[in-house]
Amino acid sequence: MQNKLKVMLIAGVVEVIALAILSGANSNSTIKILGYEAVQLGNRKIILKAPAQMHLITNAEEIRHELHVGGDHAFAIAPDKPGPQMALLVGDYLSVGELDDLSKLLVSIQNDTSARIVTELMTEDELTLVLSPQGAEKDSSFYLFHRYTRCYPYYLRVMSGWEGTKDIPPSVVHALQGIEVRK
Amino acid sequence: MIDLLKLHWQFIRRPSEALDEHIPVWPLEYGIVLYLISYGGAMIQSGKSLTVISDFVSDFWGLSGPLFVYLFILANLSIGAAVQYYLQPQFVRRIAGMAKETFDANLLRKIIFFSPTANAIILVILILPLQIISSVLRQFPSMSMLTLVFIVLVGVVSIWLVVSSVNTFVVQWKGLAKFFKLNAGQIILAEFVIPLVLALPLILLYGSRYLTFMQKYLR
């Protein structure tokens, strides 16, 4: 039994290392590892890199002012706030430059009726867009999470629920313009 | 593999016999590796826990990136192992009222480190390989159905991990009672009360911040 246990231990060490490498491969940046849950669920994830000239929110106060929300970390936007408006609001910060793979991205969204967009603006110049299925996040309404402002002054996370429709509002398409898609 | 699964079953069904039969003869080093695989593997295999750890590391220390996540896991495991290796025998010896000469510290260490054996066996034989396969399959979008099958399998098998984890406490409890003649009150003192008292400064220092973090996370 000791020998079998020894084999199991060696196998275990190898497995743990392999899994760490594989999860590292899925998450070779901070942003990716935070989106790991969605990857775990077998979803697609695309990392978007914003062009250098795009305008970024630089502090929590500015976001609060712009969005007219209160609190200090997570806020639900007024439930009756229509999604595209929210997306446009984000788009205002991002809408510069050309978008190479937007059409590809939107096709992939449209082919998955259960998908919702989760965007995470985590660092100064990077944005993660994660497609997650219904139920992966606990609320399908539009949300703005502005959390961990101390660590990530640029953290902006928007979730939109387009359940039941294949149509992506044109305003969202517009809002996403200017983002370079990087896989 | 069948033998190891039988061993797993023995640890779950008859922990006292498993203790008697295996723990005194297995080398302590095996126990330490089992401990690391069991807790480290459990942390790594769940994407949810990686996300929580990642958020925790960035929220508390402002550090971001997978490297810091893995360093944090490693530091946690090492500190946990060191505390259990060096300090736990001290508490238990004093609680049991045994002399240094008659107290078998290594036997206690074996009980501590071999207690997650059932947990580690189920992880190594079933969960981690399935998780690795699904991780590889996720790289190929065309294999999404197969990926889903493996994800479901991991989920189903992980339920058994809960049973194995509870068994960790059962094995430690039975081991302390059997080999060191501790009663229920003394075991609770050694296993829960003293560690809690030792952790008190940390709890006072970070407790409220931790609660805020969890509220924020659970919201």
Name every chain A residue with its beta carbon within 8 A of the beta carbon of B148: 42
Under 8 Å between Cβ of B168 and B39? no
Give the SS3 label for residue A128.
strand
For residue B147, the chain A residue with the least C-alpha distance is: A42
Nearest partner of B120 among B2, B8, B17, B1, judged by Cα: B8
How many CB atoms are closer than 10 A to CB B132?
Answer: 20
Q: How many H helices and E strands in chain A?
A: 7, 7
Most B CBs within 10 Å: which of A7, A10, A13, A19, as the mutation test of the B interface? A19
DSSP A169: P
Residues 6 or more apart whose Cβ sits within 8 Å of residue B6: none
Strands A116-123 and A156-160: antiparallel
More confident residue, B140 or A25: B140
Structure tokens at B83: 């505390």
Q: Could you identify the residue written with the tokens 């984890």?
A: B165
Q: For residue A142, is pLDDT > 70?
A: no
Q: How far apart are CA B4 and CA A110, in angstroms?
A: 48
Q: Can you give the pLDDT at residue B35?
A: 92
Structure tokens at A2: 């000791």
Whether ipTM tops 0.90, in short, is no
Question: A49-58, A108-117, B7-16: which has the minimum mean pLDDT?
Answer: A49-58
In chain B (219 residues long), the average pLDDT of successive 10-residue segments reads 82 84 87 91 75 72 72 90 90 88 89 90 90 77 74 84 88 89 90 88 86 68
Question: What's the gap in Å between the CA of B38 and the closest CA on chain A?
Answer: 9
For residue B49, the chain A residue with the least C-alpha distance is: A37
Q: For residue A135, is pLDDT > 60?
A: no
Q: Can you give the pLDDT at residue B60?
A: 77
Residue by residue, what is the 3-state secondary structure of chain B? Answer: CHHHHHHHHHHHHCHHHHHHHHCCCCCHHHHHHHHHHHHHHHHHHCHHHHHHHHHHHHHHHCCCCHHHHHHHHHHHHHHHHHHHHHHHHHHHHHHHCCCCCCCCHHHHHHHHHHCCHHHHHHHHHHHHHHHHHHHHHHCCHHHHHHHHHHHHHHHHHHHHHHHHHHHHHHHHHHHHHHHHCCCHHHHHHHHHHHHHHHHHHHHHHHHHHHHHHHHHHHC
Average the pLDDT over A59-82 and give the result: 33
Most confident of A90-99, A106-115, B18-27: B18-27
Amino acid at B151: I
Question: A24-33, A62-71, A97-106, B128-137: which has the minimum mean pLDDT?
Answer: A97-106
pTM higher than the cut 0.80: no
Q: How far apart are CA A82 and CA A102, in angstroms?
A: 22
Strands A126-132 and A45-49: antiparallel
**Pick from A13, A30, A44: CB nearest B64:** A30
Most B CBs within 10 Å: which of A30, A122, A132, A150, as the mutation test of the B interface? A30
Q: Cα-flanking dihedrals φ and ψ of residue A79, to 5°?
A: -55, -30
Average the pLDDT over A153-160 and give the result: 28
**Pick from A1, A34, A150: CB nearest B51:** A34
Average the pLDDT over A124-136 and give the result: 35
Q: How far apart are CA A172 and CA A87, in angstroms?
A: 6
How many CB atoms are closer than 10 A to CB B198?
Answer: 12
Residues 6 or more apart whose Cβ sits within 8 Å of residue A110: A166, A167, A168
